[in-house]
Each structure stands twice: as structure tokens, then as C-alpha cells.
Amino acid sequence: GENVGLHLPTLSVQEGDNSIINCAYSNSASDYFIWYKQESGKGPQFIIDIRSNMDKRQGQRVTVLLNKTVKHLSLQIAATQPGDSAVYFCAEEMRSQGNLIFGKGTKLSVKP
Amino acid sequence: GAVVSQHPSWVICKSGTSVKIECRSLDFQATTMFWYRQFPKQSLMLMATSNEGSKATYEQGVEKDKFLINHASLTLSTLTVTSAHPEDSSFYICSASQGGLSYTFGSGTRLTVV
């Protein structure tokens, strides 16, 4: 879908706390999802992915949860650090299309 | 790991001129490359998808005659912004895929048209 609005939602957390970033995806036929981290002036950096046949996947300090019923993804970051400050995007792919469509993004700000 | 090199990282050009941005996959063959545009405080918007040796597929609303995409080899795709105008100023990002569940992004190009 198209992006609307000029302001990214912002999540502000204290260093050491856990962060939860949410994303609503648009296409019920999407079957692969990725979370990306983007620092200012840089390209997206892969964090973690999940396929539609799973509802949870864990990485190092990060967990992705997928709820296909309500088309919702979340990214949980444990023990958030100042280096985690960035904009986080979810992206969805429908295998038959073979391209990634990005969600609106959330700016994470970590207070020391 | 897979690396995608994008150049230039930034460019300033005059209105009416054309600018070429290169995207190279350094250590893998990219069967498909994608071009995105990102305005400040907004998400990445897919502009076009290109497969090596064939014409690019453009997303709705993207002018194919203005944003020329060439994907002549499995390691190089170029985006040329023709007759650039200030409203074309944006952050352009490429991505390369070997197929399967793998996308590698370039570091982006900041285009400023004055």
C-alpha cells in the first residue's frame, strides 16, 4: 500500500528495558515477513525474519511474533541498548510476487 | 555474507540534468534487483523490479521514461533519473536477491536536485 503521513511513530524506552515494536501488514496472502533496522542515511539492515507457517521466532535479543488472524507482526528487543536507536520497518512478501513491501516504520529512541 | 554496493552515496545535480545510480552485487549473482525511493520520515516505496536481461516492472505511479532501469548483468543494475527536478530529491535504495528468501540492500543514494 501507499505510505501516508509525514511523521513516524516514535517509541521511547529506557536503556535496559524491553522494547516492543508493532506492525500491521496489508496483504493476507503474504507469506514471508522481515524486520529491518535503518539508521539515518543508511540502507535497511536485516534483523530477523519469519515465515507464515510460524507464529514466533527468536534471535539474539530479538523475537518476532506473527498473528495472521489480525495481520499483525511485532518485534521484541530485550535489554534495549543505545545502539538499538533507529527506525524499524516490517516488510512483507508474497512469494508469487517476489518483492518486498515495507510498512510505515517506527522510530525507536533509547534513553541512557 | 552477501554485499551490495551502491554508488554514489550522495549526489547533487542541477534541474534538467540526468543522474545515474549504480547497484552492484559483489559476491553473488542477483537474479532480481529492486529500486526503492524513500522520502524523509517515510517508509521505503518500491519503484520497480528488474530481472537480468529483461525490462523492469514498474509500480503504479512510477514513470518508466523518467526512471530508467537497466539490469544488463547478474551483478549490476542502474537507475537513471532523467531530467531531474527538485521533487525527485530523495533517498534511493537498491536491493538484490538471488531468489528464495534473501534480500540484500545497498547503502542508499541521497539525491538532491537544485
Four-point Cα dihedral A101, A106, A109, B3, nearest 10: 0
Distance from CA of A57 to the nearest CA of B (A): 16
Percent above pLDDT 70 for chain A: 94
Q: How much is the mean pLDDT over chain B?
A: 93
Instruction: Evaluate if residue A23 carries a pLDDT over 80.
Output: yes
Q: How many CA atoms lie within 13 A of B109 on its CB side?
A: 28
What are the DSSP calls for A42-111, one per residue?
S--EEEEEEETT-SEEE-SSEEEEEETTTTEEEEEESS--GGG-EEEEEEEE-TTT--EEE---EEEEEE
- Neighboring chain B residues of A101 at a CB cutoff of 8 Å: 46
What does the pLDDT read at residue B100? 64
What does the pLDDT read at residue B101? 60
What does the pLDDT read at residue A99? 83
pLDDT grade for A77, boundaries at 50, 70 and 90 = very high
Residues of B with CB under 8 A from a CB of A: 6, 32, 34, 36, 40-46, 49, 91, 93, 95, 97, 101, 103, 105-108, 110
DSSP 8-class letter at B62: -
CB-CB under 8 Å, B97 with A98: yes
Q: B7-24 burial, b if ≥16 CB within 10 A, otherwise e? A: eeeebebeeeeebebbbb
Instruction: Evaluate if residue A1 carries a pLDDT over 60.
Output: no
CB-CB under 8 Å, B108 with A43: yes
